Structure 1
Amino acid sequence: MTDFIALDFETADNGRDSACSLALALVRNGKIADTWYRLIRPPRQTMLFTHIHGITWDQVKDQPDFGHFWPEIRGLISEAPFLVAHNAPFDKGVLAECCRAYGYPAPLTPFVCTVRAAREVWNLRPTKLPDVCRFLAQPLNHHDALSDAVACAEILLAARRDGYDPARQLGSPQ
């Protein structure tokens, strides 16, 4: 059984439906057991954030869209006790809007935010992903969805080792 899944989206533009990459880090028995990463063709050619994540239209124009990938990962997402993201409201919104855009209901799986966990456990400020990774000596290639998802999983695992209970966030508004 999966302990949790950490995920990270990169988006092409300001639309929450504009996912251009997605990564999952599946944690089982307290360790990252598997990862999943895909480039995604967003619904528009506008790539406003290439300067942040390096993903170009040429890289994604021939990739399947989110609607193609969702059936592949829906079961993993819905069976996980919870999902983990750094700044969870952003990734939760992207997931919900991408599902809606392709006619799927958004998953009901709750989210745990590692920004909140880092603030509560280590009293860190600022809590941007590079700051938390630096504090934990966690390698990071920021804005690479797979690196970000793995880092996020490692942050929650470290927080748990330091006594953090993610159940404190479950059921609270994101």
Structure 2
Amino acid sequence: MLNFTAIDFETANSSGASACSVGLVKVHDGKVVDKVYWLIQPPPGHDTFLEWNTKIHGLRAADVVGADTWAQQLPKLVAFADGDPLVAHNAGFDLGVIKTASTVTGQTVPDFSYVCSLQVARRTYHLDSYRLPLAAAAAGFEGFSHHNALADAEACAAIIIHAAAVHDSKTLGGLARFLRVKIGVIGPEATKEHASNHGPMALQ
């Protein structure tokens, strides 16, 4: 079945540890079944909100006062994904946030496999640009609030669902293998399993 969790982070500044919001969208059997949005309080030393970032996503330091810290939020994120592979647009950025924020705050990096919807879009559509709004529009998902973490995660999910239908792929792993898109991993156990298999982790 086409099961995955789409994820998107916004950050306060250029530090990967400065996540200030996250959107998560759970897809089960090719349909959106749950979604959630959280504000996050970046850790000290990574908590300056730069004007450039605020101009992009609209969030300021005052907006995250009282929000969960990364250490408080991470278990909720892992529980929401519940073993799903993750999907993100330009996934290296979002999975980098998970790795960096976890390392900086002393948390164990969680085990995830992941696929990049940007790479999937490049091998599915013929566009002048594969930025999220244009790739999502090609998938029939238009008019969303770009750089709102939840809206971006919904757009990312729409790309994967549509691409799977276009290529008649029943699973995320099947879609990735058909398109020859890399299946990435983070976390100690996932990385160990990936290395021992000498290839991509099996995805649902």
Percent identity between matched residues is 35
Bigger Rg over Cα: 2
Residue 50 of structure 1, aligned match among 32, 47, 54? 54
Confirm whether residue 166 of structure 1 aligns to residue 176 of structure 2: yes
Match of 1:21 in 2: 21
Match of 1:137 in 2: 140
TM (normalized to structure 1)? 0.90
Label 1:115 to 1:66 Cα distance change in 2 as closer, same or farther (>3 A).
same
Map 1:73-112 onto structure 2 (within 5 A). 73-77=77-81, 79-80=83-84, 82-112=85-115
CA RMSD of aligned residues (A): 2.1
Count of residues in correspondence between the two structures: 173
TM (normalized to structure 2)? 0.78
Contact 1:77 1:107 in 2 (8 A): no
Confirm whether residue 64 of structure 1 aligns to residue 85 of structure 2: no
5+ long unaligned stretches in structure 1: none
Deviation at 1:173, TM superposition (A): 8.4
Runs of 4 or more, structure 1, over 6 Å off, are none
| Partner Cα distance (1:63, 1:2) in 2 | 32
Contact 1:77 1:109 in 2 (8 A): no
Larger deviation, residues 121-130 vs 132-141: 132-141
Contact 2:115 2:184 in 1 (8 A): no
Counterpart secondary structure, 2:32? strand
Deviation at 1:66, TM superposition (A): 1.1
5+ long unaligned stretches in structure 2: 170-174, 187-204
